[in-house]
């Protein structure tokens, strides 16, 4: 992975994606938790070709501004671009825009850390038991 690597994913807002459905409000517009999930999905897609089968990444920090509403049926393009790499730490700039007119509806930063999936899960199970 290197600075500039990116991925863009396209999503269409459904009833299951609304603030009312995800518990972040009572309106039938895209909920911020779903927007965040879509941004994280784009970061994972941007890393996918750089990780071995033994590796995965985990989110460690998020800063997201949700700027505008997106009604059910609206299609969004969500892009994640690698902005910084320091060993296992990867920081992304993320942005979501309406596919119809390019209007930016959210942007921010997501930080992920690349981990060995088996070691990570072993530590989690030890901590829980």
Residues found in the chain = 129
- In this prediction, residue 129 carries a pLDDT of 58
Domains in the chain: boundaries:
6-128
Q: Give the model's confidence band at 1: pLDDT under 50 very low, under 70 low, under 90 confident, else very high.
A: confident
Helix (H) or strand (E) holding 22: helix 19-22
User: Which residue shows structure tokens 């779903």?
Assistant: 34
Tens-digit pLDDT profile for residues 28-38: 999 999 999 99
Nearest-angstrom CA–CA distance, 126 and 129: 5
State the average pLDDT over residues 8-24: 97
Rounded Cα–Cα distance for residues 78 and 23 (Å): 22
State the chain's maximal CA–CA distance in angstroms.
51
The correct answer on CATH 3.30.1050.10 for the domain covering 6-128 is: no
Q: Measuring CA to CA, which residue among 23, 57, 31, 26 is closest to residue 11? A: 31
For the whole model, what pTM was predicted? 0.94
């Amino acid at each position: 992975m290197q600075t500039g690597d990116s991925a863009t994913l396209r999503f269409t807002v459904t009833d299951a994606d609304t603030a009312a459905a995800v518990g972040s409000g009572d309106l039938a517009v895209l909920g911020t938790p779903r927007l965040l999930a879509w941004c994280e999905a784009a970061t994972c897609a941007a890393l996918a070709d750089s990780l071995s089968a033994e590796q995965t990444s985990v989110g460690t920090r998020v800063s997201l501004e949700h700027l505008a509403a997106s009604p059910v049926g609206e299609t969004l393009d969500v892009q994640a671009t690698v902005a910084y790499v320091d060993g296992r730490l990867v920081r992304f700039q993320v942005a979501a825009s309406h596919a119809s007119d390019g209007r930016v509806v959210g942007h921010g930063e997501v930080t992920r850390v690349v981990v060995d999936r088996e070691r990570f899960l072993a530590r989690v199970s030890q901590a829980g038991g």
